[in-house]
């Protein structure tokens, strides 16, 4: 008994794809869209270089100021400077984050 091969199906026609006009890329880049969502929704870090540099400088200055104040308030004790630096870092870090949050909301409302 010889087995016969099944018949080969005819070649399927290629589907015709309708022509569409090429779309132009949007004016905003992917990073700009991410920043807009981060500012609108919140609880996400923005990746704006200017915002991050400003926050770094403010937090750095606040930490140094906290260390100096802690040093003199504790009677020139280095542990007081360390505690003051930690308190300054936390307070100024949170405050600058809140300020940047409001600036981001304002920026998102204009767009």
pTM of the model: 0.67
Per run of 10 residues, the mean pLDDT along the chain (length 111 residues) is 75 75 67 83 82 95 97 96 97 93 84 65
pLDDT of amino acid 44: 80
**Gap between the Cα atoms of 76 and 65, Å rounded:** 14
pLDDT of amino acid 28: 67
**Gap between the Cα atoms of 41 and 18, Å rounded:** 38
């Amino acid at each position: 008994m010889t087995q016969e091969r099944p018949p080969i199906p005819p070649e399927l026609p290629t589907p015709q794809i309708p022509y569409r006009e090429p779309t132009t890329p949007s004016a905003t880049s992917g990073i700009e869209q991410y920043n807009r969502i981060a500012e609108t929704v919140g609880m996400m870090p923005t990746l704006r270089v200017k915002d991050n540099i400003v926050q770094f400088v403010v937090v750095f200055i606040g930490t140094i100021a906290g260390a100096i104040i802690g040093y003199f308030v504790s009677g020139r004790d280095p542990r007081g400077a360390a505690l003051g630096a930690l308190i300054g870092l936390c307070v100024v870090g949170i405050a600058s984050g809140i300020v940047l949050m409001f600036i981001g909301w304002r920026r998102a409302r204009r767009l």
